[in-house]
Structure 1
Amino acid sequence: MNILVANDDGIRARGLTELVRALSGEASVYVCAPDGQRSASGHGITVSKYITVKEERVEGAEYALSTSGTPADCVKLGMKILSEKGVKIDMLFSGINHGGNLGTDVLYSGTVAAAMEGSICGVPSVAVSVDNHDASHFDCAAHLAVEALRKGHGNLSPGIVLNINTPDLPENEIKGLRFTTLGNREYKEFFAPVDMGDGTKGYRYNGEPVVYEGLPGSIDVIAIQDGYASITPIHRDLTAYEMVEEIKKWRIG
């Protein structure tokens, strides 16, 4: 079995190294990842300039590339380059991300975008994240990735992405695993102004996640808040089906 690993934290991120190490015990692992940080890049792709590509060495990987592109670029281009080398990718894993990808975070996440791109390319895909931007505990996330590979290969539809999140805790301190739905991921957010020195003012985004009370533990945000790991099946169909017949009645146009 051949696995492609991508991420949005860059090819040198510890999370990617830990994921490759874990998966390489189960399959042949290939890597195509950004050459630097691309967090919160969403599902953008590069169309107005060239994407540069460089061969890299990643322990445990059969072959590795870094690119100047986005996470989605890495998946799309990586699969093309590997196909030309006669390598057919069977599953795609994105991560392990330094920072959670919960609830509405998935709309911004480069990690989830890479997994969604794998799905678009017809490959069963998994996104894996640890809920801390300074993450130091990857064991549970790596373990769940391996389990997703073992149980998902042959069973996971290419149209579905498994979105795995774990608390940044030693594996033996995580309370368990919940199978969840997406929730709201709100932040107490602000833009810090900075004098750019050329007469213009810059703003840098920052924020702290809101802590919720009284919400069901079946929501991914609450599962992580309660000290559990979560797995949420997601897909790219954003259609509000219940509204299709309703808007016909509006006689727009």
Structure 2
Amino acid sequence: MAKILITNDDGIRSKGIKAAIEALQGLGEIYVVAPMSQRSASGRAMTLHRPLRAKHVKLDGAEAAYALDGMPVDCIIFALARFGEFDLVVSGINLGENMSTEITISGTASAAIEAATHGMPSIAISLEVNREKHKFGSGEEIDFETAKFFLRKIAKAVLKKGLPRSVEMLNVNVPYDATEKTQIAFTRLAKRMYQPSIEERIDPKGNPYYWIVGTQCPREVLEPGTDMYAVKVERKVSVSPINIDMTAKIDFNELKKVLKL
């Protein structure tokens, strides 16, 4: 029987974890290792300068589950050490979309990337939310049924046939208004999702403090064929094949000429 690992960056108590477990029932033995608390935007961060604490928790439908006081990448490493290799790793279902080259910031995508570096096929799946306040909550108000449908459909296919050569991870984004009849678009990553900036505010004592804020790229600049165009404009489920080798595909002689080496 297949072994499946589920993780996320929203925390062990996120409704998205429960939804993922439900979606994958019957496809294999399910194990869960997820952060104890919210770890969004943690990227490929690892905990190297202090010990990790793990707490065994009970989650219906899982063979075993642990909450880890670390990052999503830590969860993958811990799961490998505790349970061995997996036939499939699923990160999500995340509250809020993870698209564009900014997936390197995402804890959800980074957990799947970490799994891919260990040779395990992985899926990062995120559900678009229509209100900003929902992105960092537990998901109690969110309907995950359609995301569950697409996760099961894609996971079942990957377990049966594997991923194509040179594809190591799938990044999946589901529009909040999608139904089971919504089309799937196979996409490349958009250049970026947000234009980040710093907002200065003043605390009650008159001292400045700063928030990193971001404005989403306007629809009119989105390129057809990208994940953002599929979700934001076409309202399709986006599936982006990811290869973790980021080496630029150029003739090295061209680079040699530019650098005069």
TM superposition shift of 1:184? 2.3
Which AA in structure 2 matches 1:27?
G
Q: CA RMSD of the aligned region, Å?
A: 2.2
SS of corresponding position for 1:213: helix
TM superposition shift of 1:200? 4.8
Unaligned segments of structure 2, at least 5 residues: none
Unaligned segments of structure 1, at least 5 residues: none
Match of 2:256 in 1: 248
Match of 2:36 in 1: 35
Contact 2:99 2:193 in 1 (8 A): no
Match of 1:213 in 2: 220
Aligned mates of 1:251, 1:224 — CA distance in 2: 40
SS of corresponding position for 1:127: strand
Which AA in structure 1 matches 2:249?
Y
Match of 1:110 in 2: 107
TM superposition shift of 1:159? 5.3
Match of 1:239 in 2: 247
Match of 2:88 in 1: 91
| TM value normalised by structure 2 | 0.87
1:23-102 alignment to 2 at 5 Å?
A: 23-83=24-84, 88-102=85-99
TM superposition shift of 1:197? 6.0
- Which of 231, 255, 259 is matched with 1:224 structurally? 231
Check 1:167–1:48 CA distance in 2 against 1; reply closer, same or farther (3 A cut). same
Contact 2:31 2:64 in 1 (8 A): yes
TM superposition shift of 1:211? 2.4
| TM value normalised by structure 1 | 0.89
SS of corresponding position for 2:219: coil
1:143 is aligned to 2:149: yes
1:2 is aligned to 2:28: no
SS of corresponding position for 1:231: strand
Check 1:196–1:216 CA distance in 2 against 1; reply closer, same or farther (3 A cut). closer
SS of corresponding position for 1:242: coil
TM superposition shift of 1:138? 1.7
Contact 1:8 1:34 in 2 (8 A): yes
TM superposition shift of 1:156? 1.5
Aligned mates of 2:183, 2:241 — CA distance in 1: 18
Number of matched pairs:
248
Match of 2:16 in 1: 15
TM superposition shift of 1:62? 0.9
TM superposition shift of 1:108? 0.6
Structure 1 window deviating more from structure 2 (241-250 vs 24-33): it is 241-250
Contact 2:175 2:231 in 1 (8 A): yes
Match of 1:119 in 2: 116
% identical equivalent positions: 32
1:168 is aligned to 2:176: yes
TM superposition shift of 1:44? 1.1
Which AA in structure 2 matches 1:228?
K
Aligned mates of 1:221, 1:47 — CA distance in 2: 34
TM superposition shift of 1:123? 0.7
Aligned mates of 1:19, 1:145 — CA distance in 2: 8
Deviations 1:163-216 (A, max 9, x none): 1101112525x7421111111234354433344567753212222312222755
Which AA in structure 1 matches 2:154?
A
Contact 1:176 1:228 in 2 (8 A): yes
Match of 1:177 in 2: 184
TM superposition shift of 1:161? 0.3
Aligned mates of 2:36, 2:103 — CA distance in 1: 22
Aligned mates of 1:97, 1:231 — CA distance in 2: 15
